[in-house]
Every structure is written in C-alpha cells, then in structure tokens.
Amino acid sequence: MTDVDRESVCNWRSAASDLTNKETTTVANELWISSPELQTPQSTTSNKLKSIMTPIHEAERTLRSTAEGPSSSVVQLNISLQHSAKMVTIPFYSSSVKLMLFTWMVVILLSPSTAAPIQITFDGCIPGFANNETQYCCPPKYNGTIVDFIPEKELNSSKPLRVRKALQCLSKKEQREYKAKLDKAYTILRNLPEDDPRSLHQHGILHCAYGTGALVQPGTNITIDIHFSWLFYPFHRWFVYFHERILQNILEDPEFSIHFWNWDNGATVRKPKSSHGGCYKVGHFLPQVYNDSSTAQYEAQRSYRAVMSDLPVDLSIIPEERADPPLRTADVALPRNVASMYVAMMLNGSTTRGFMGGEYRVGDTQVLDPLTRAGSLEVMGHASGHWWVGGPFGLVQTSALDPLFFAHHSNIDRLWNNWYNLPGGERKDYDDPDFLNAEYLFWDETATLRRVTVRDSLSIEALGYTYEKANDAYWINYVLPVNGTTNSTTNVTTSTKALEEVHFPMRWNKV
Ligand code: C2O
C-alpha cells in the first residue's frame, strides 16, 4: 500500500467510514480470532499481496510477451505492428514505389476509424462454443418490433426507489414471505413453454447466447461475448433488471426486488451507531431462501459445498480447481476471501481499466481469455462464486438456469455501484462513446424485445432501485495499521502459504 493509498484510506475512514475506529478494530479482531493466519503486520501482508496478486496490466504484459496463449486480438496487434515496421524500412525502393506506398499510408491514416459500439442482433445466430462443447442456444424467432427502453425515472421521477436487500439480514417473517414469492415465481418460470422468452429455460439460453459466441457482429462472422471486457457489468445489470421485471409481473408485485447474496461479507459486527439501517451480519453462506429443496428456486445439482450450512463460500478458487474445488473450511477460506475482495476492489480495481475491464468495439474479436480484457471483480470473486456453487451455475452455458444466478449478480451489481466511492485510485466509468453507446437486447415481461444501452445502465437510481447498505468495510479495511500486534514467524509462514494460492488466474475456462 503506497502512502497515498494509505492516506486516502485514512481520510476516507475518518470522513465517511461505516464504522468507528473501535468498531473497525472489532471487525479486524473478529477476523483474526477466527483466522490466526491473518495475524501478520498489515504492511507485510499488503506487500505480500501486491507481489502475489499481479495487477491486471502486468499480467497482460506477461501474456503479450509469452507465446503461450495470447488471444487472437493480441496476435493481430503484433502482426500489424510488424507489418507497418516493414513498410517504413525499405529505403532502396524506387521513388515511384515510394510514392505509391506513401499515398497508400496517407489514405490509411486519413480513412475514418472503424471504431463503433458493439450492437446486438439475434439474426445470424450460430452455434456457440464453451467448455469444450458446441452450445446450441439461439434465442427464439421474434417477429415483433424491437422497442427502445427508457429508464423508469425518466418516466416517473417521483416514484420511490425499490430497495434490494441483503438476504442474510431479512427478518424471519421477511424470509418466509420472500421464499414463498421466489417459489411461486420460479414454479411459473419453470413451467412456461420452453420457447417463451420469459421462461427460466430462455434465461439460460439468453446468457448462453451472449456468453459463448453464438451472436455475431452484424454483417460479419465475428462472434460476440459480453464477458471479459467493459461490457460485463452493464450487461449483467440489465439482465438482472429485466429478470426482476418479469418476476414483478408474474407475482403482480411491482415492488418485488432481487435481494442480493452478500458473499463478500465474512464477519458479523455490531451495527455502527452512526448507521441508519444496513446489514452487518455475515453473508458468505448460500442464502437460506435459495437452499430449501422443497422450493422451485432450489437447484438439485449444486455442489455439496454449497449446501453445507457451516461452509463459507470460497472466493479464491483458482481455475485449475474449478472442476472440483477443494473443501476449504472457514479458517482457510476467510482470510483468502477477504484478501481476494481487497485485491479485486481496492488494488487491481483501483482504476477504470482495472475494475471495468478493457475496451471492446466493433471489429474486435470475441474475448476468450480474461487476461486480455476482463475486469478485476469479474475474475476474482464472481467466477469463484460460480465454481463454488457448481452444477449448472458453474458453466456459462447453463448458469442462468439456477435462480441463484440473479442473487449472485445482484451483489456484483451492488459492488459495481459502490466501487465509485471507494478510497484511492481513479474510479469512474469509461466516457468513451463506444462504451456508452454499446447496445444489448433483452426480453421484457411482455416477451417484447427491448433495446438498451450501456449509457442507460450507469445509474441504478434511474432504473428505480437502490441497495441496502452492507458491511463493505470488512474488505475495505483489510489493510489496517496495526497497533502493537506482534506475530510469530509461524503465523507469517502459514499466512504466506494461504495467500500464495490466491494468485491471479493464468488459464481460465469460462464460467
Ligand atoms: Cu455472465 Cu456470472 O456470468
């Protein structure tokens, strides 16, 4: 942690902290009590983390310099660089050839750039490919008109915001009611005809189409993927949003909200006195309302890990482990989880490029390797959540068939929303028109196809909702100045071991 970072954390803490110093220390103590590995001087831990968890741009550099699996776009970049280098190093050519080459270069330089925002059409859909298999997931034929979508607040600015809450903090009564609503809604969604765009089946198909290269850029054979680039957060915000509208419609409850699985919070702390509400209970277990086998939101093929009631989620599963992640009990998983969150949100996620992922425009080939363009939280935390739960949820082609998908992505969405105000770094959305004007298509509650833009996704308030406050301080304050905590070498060693496994994925098959 640099001094600047440390200072901004401190400033942030004194100015806008969720927790008082004493309460912050409580968080740390709680964590340390349950996790002796963390009893290391924070600066050591931080340096260790910095060296272990390579920031994205460094990983990208490494990738470019190794022959081992650069993405096709990187290959293309290298080729074109070599190409232009050849062009300017041929002084012995005759002057007419030189003139031709010169004119050609001028024409190329002056011709308009092909950069344009990605737009989606379902026409020309082809079989996709993921996890070593061809995927058949083209959306059903649509004969209606595609209708541009206008955010709710532009239509009715006086409507109060709906609140998406932390699932673990619902009261007993709220839990019962929410569980019954989910059950009712998913019973209907599971029983709709498979070609009904609102059916759960078609939610799975849509995510598969957008995530396996089944959709192509209009008039080309360039396949599209909305993962691993700046398209990731906006796409999933819209996907959860339209899913929520469909559930509201089915339940005839316009206030229904997709509450979030607060998996990033690994500590229960006393609610800060200054807080007006908020959830300060541990959130890393699979939410109970999704874990009752007698309800339609239950998915029987989830892994045994996900249904063991005392096992926290593992947020630092590495790609090599994805097929069968090891059983990490709380003592091992917790320090790794908080480290992963800290790295994803505070360290690697401290810049627009680091958090949001890289640029992706018309003409760019499908992103297959996260190291080239994916944002920090997408690869750390998001992916592990999918792999830990397993079953359909663990594969890109089927993940949206598990209703838990929407509670998982509600949390990702919340973290994106909170990211702007975290201390340190440069945290704002891209202002590039190719980002803002990128478009997606989604089915709404009347099975009408709606066209939405990234621009319209950037404010959750404009979309009519907000999030209950939760204990983000748990990972924000992961790097704390330590007052007189001395540590034995044994602890340091144990800690090092545990953290060394939390490295940035080098090879990554898709969720
Ligand atoms: Cu489109 Cu969690 O993935």
pLDDT band at 100 (very low <50, low <70, confident <90, very high): low
CA distance 435 to 117: 6
Tens-digit pLDDT profile for residues 258-271: 999 999 999 999 99
**Shared domain check, 137 and 97:** no
Residues 336, 424, single domain; the answer is: yes
Question: Do 60 and 193 reside in the same domain of the chain?
Answer: no
Instruction: Tell me the CA–centroid distance for residue 393 and ligand 1, in Å.
Output: 9
Q: Over range 141-156, report the average pLDDT.
A: 91
Residue 504 lies in a domain: no
Indicate whether 3 pLDDT > 90: no
- How confident is residue 109, by pLDDT bands cut at 50, 70 and 90? low
Calculate the CA dihedral of residues 368, 374, 379, 381 and round it to 10 degrees.
-140
| Mean pLDDT of all residues in 429-453 | 98
Q: In this model, does residue 34 exceed pLDDT 80? A: no
298 and 155 in one domain?
yes
State if residue 399 touches ligand 1 by the CB under 6 angstroms criterion. Answer: yes
C-alpha 108 to ligand 1 mean position (Å): 39
Instruction: Label residue 169 by pLDDT band (50, 70, 90).
Output: very high
Do 106 and 237 belong together in one domain? no
Per-residue confidence band for 114, with pLDDT thresholds at 50, 70 and 90: low
141 and 37 fall within a common domain: no
Ligand 1 in contact with 227 (CB < 6 A)? yes
* Among 114, 136, 153, residue at a domain's last position: 114
Ligand 1 nearest-atom number relative to CA 239: 1
Indicate if 60 and 132 belong to the same structural domain.
no
Closest ligand 1 atom to residue 382 Cα is 2
Shared domain check, 344 and 265: yes
Residue 511 confidence (pLDDT): 61
- Percent above pLDDT 70 for the chain: 71
HSE-up of residue 318 (Cα within 13 Å, Cβ side): 13
223 touches ligand 1 (CB under 6 Å): no
Q: CA-CA distance, 220 to 364, in Å (whole number)?
A: 11
Using the 3D structure, point to which of 85, 114, 143 is the last residue of a domain. 114
Please state the length of the chain. 511
| pLDDT tens for each residue of 398-438 | 999 999 999 999 999 999 999 999 999 999 999 999 999 99
Asked if 282 and 380 sit in the same domain, the reply is yes
Hey, what amino acid is at 193? P
Q: Give residue 470 CA to ligand 1 midpoint distance, Å.
A: 22
Answer whether residue 197 is part of any domain.
Answer: yes
Whether 237 is in the pocket of ligand 1, judged by its Cβ within 6 Å, is: no
Domain containing residue 247: CATH number: 1.10.1280.10
* pLDDT given at position 154: 77
CB 248 within 8 A of CB 189: no
Q: Is the pLDDT of residue 190 over 90?
A: yes
Count up the domains in the chain and report the number.
2
Residue 407 CB less than 6 A away from ligand 1 = no
User: Are residues 96 and 187 both part of a single domain?
Assistant: no
Could you tell me the residue range of the domain that residue 425 belongs to? 128-499
The answer on 316 and 368 residing in a single domain is yes
Q: Measure 396 CA to ligand 1 centroid, in angstroms.
A: 7
When the pLDDT of each residue in the chain is averaged and rounded to a whole number, the result is 79
Statement: residue 88 has pLDDT above 50: no
Among residues 59, 84, 114, the one where a domain terminates is: 114
Can you give the pLDDT at residue 309?
A: 83
Quote the pTM value: 0.76
- Closest CA relative to residue 383, chosen from 225, 511, 505, 226: 511
Sign of CA dihedral 486, 488, 489, 494: negative
Domain assignment of residue 121, yes or no: no
Q: In terms of domains, do 97 and 182 share one?
A: no
Per-residue pLDDT tens over the stretch 150-162? 998 878 888 899 9
> Confidence band (pLDDT; 50, 70, 90) for 6?
very low
